[in-house]
Amino acid sequence: MRIGVIGSGAVGLYFGARLQLAGHDVHFLLRRDYEAITASGLTITSPAGDFRLERVKGFRTPGEMGKVDLVLVALKAFANMHLVEMVRPLLQDDTAVLTVQNGLGNEELLAEAFGVERVLGGVAIVGANRGEPGVVHHLTYGAIRLGELGGGLSPRAERLAAMVDAAGIRCEAVADLRKIRWEKLVWNIPFNGLCALTGQTPGRLLAHPSTRRLIAAIMAEVIAGGNAQGLSEPIPTHGYIEEVLARTERNSGDYRPSMMIDRLEGRPLELEAIYQIPLQHAAKRGVEMARVEMLQALLDLGEPGKDDGAA
């Protein structure tokens, strides 16, 4: 399959590299790593085994990439104002678009431009960070759950899931995309936000009793907001929170979430997709997420270019 990767950060490079290693024709839209990757290839370090792609098809603009069968979108959501113009040159009549971006609203943006029938969404569960140019460090996990924006378990979603799974990325097709989006927000909202604000890793936050209780309370708010959205079945409050906390302690204690890295490096945060849109959806259904709203306000205060209001 001919695949175009839009958003070649750690996640896009890692998933695209796995797909290329499995024999697919992968084209990467590259920015800061363009010279290093096109000249010297792409190196992946991973608990599942290190590997190197000696030749990578990298491009500076979408127009140079050509038409593809599948567009894999891993772009940071704060750059979504450019997403439609990036995707458009890659489409042919039957091209599917799969976004594995964080948060809510990404599929709807693509569907408004290109039609619901083209769009699938996926939740990426992966810990990966960029190293020196041309190097990605895969640290933990490595899975995708995907589904149709229009709902239902389609043959297309099952075929794509089987293809991704065969490339060494555990993948499952699901019927309820909204549910898996909210399930990931249960992790993303507290850990991305608190790690960015405090500079502490998930393991450090969980080791401190008061911040552990705060994380659990934020998770309960997110679950209430999600369960008000008419999901196929509710996300359980009791048991699920403990499961997520325990899994984080086992596998992600020292991991630096993407929002923490973005804040440390002075980049914008994905506040609209991860905080503002979920808050709006919850409010429309009469659910208040006060702790989530406070997190969003504090994170927004530290955004580049924000006026502190001083006279």
**For range 151-159, the mean pLDDT:** 97
**For range 213-226, the mean pLDDT:** 98
Contact 90, 67 (CB under 8 A): yes
The token pair at 238 is 């009791």
The token pair at 27 is 């084209």
- Give per-residue pLDDT as tens, 34-57: 999 999 999 999 999 999 999 999
- Give per-residue pLDDT as tens, 181-197: 999 999 999 999 999 99
pLDDT given for residue 252 in this prediction:
81
> What does the angle CA 80 – CA 253 – CA 171 come to, to the nearest 5 degrees?
55
Q: Which residues make Cβ contacts (< 8 Å) with residue 207, sequence separation at least 6?
A: none
The domain ranges of the chain are 2-175, 179-301
Query: Which residue is it, tokens 């909202």?
Result: 189
pLDDT given for residue 293 in this prediction:
98
Q: Does domain 2-175 have CATH number 3.40.50.720?
A: yes
The 3-class SS string of the chain reads CEEEEECCCHHHHHHHHHHHHCCCEEEEECCCCHHHHHHHCEEEECCCCCEEECCCEEECCHHHHCCCCEEEECCCHHHHHHHHHHHHHHCCCCCEEEECCCCCCHHHHHHHHHCHHHEEEEEEEEEEEECCCCEEEEEEEEEEEEEECCCCCCHHHHHHHHHHHHCCCEEEECCCHHHHHHHHHHHHHHHHHHHHHHCCCHHHHHHCHHHHHHHHHHHHHHHHHHHCCCCCCCCCCCCHHHHHHHHHHHHCCCCCCHHHHHHHCCCCCCHHHHHHHHHHHHHHCCCCCHHHHHHHHHHHHCCCCCCCCCC
**For range 157-177, the mean pLDDT:** 97
- Give per-residue pLDDT as tens, 130-154: 999 999 999 988 899 999 999 999 9
Q: Percentage of residues in the chain with pLDDT exceeding 90?
A: 93
The dotted CATH code for 179-301 is: 1.10.1040.10
Confidence of residue 238 (pLDDT cuts 50, 70, 90): confident
The predicted model scores a pTM of 0.94
Distance CA 275, CA 247 (A): 23
Distance CA 190, CA 132 (A): 29
Contact 128, 253 (CB under 8 A): no
**For range 301-306, the mean pLDDT:** 84
The token pair at 89 is 């040159």
- Give per-residue pLDDT as tens, 47-103: 999 999 999 999 999 999 999 999 999 999 999 999 999 999 999 999 999 999 999
In this predicted model, which residue has the larger pLDDT, 269 or 253?
A: 269
Residue 76 annotated to the active site: no
What's the whole-number average pLDDT of the chain? 95
Distance CA 200, CA 60 (A): 35
Catalytic, out of 179, 184, 284, 306: 184
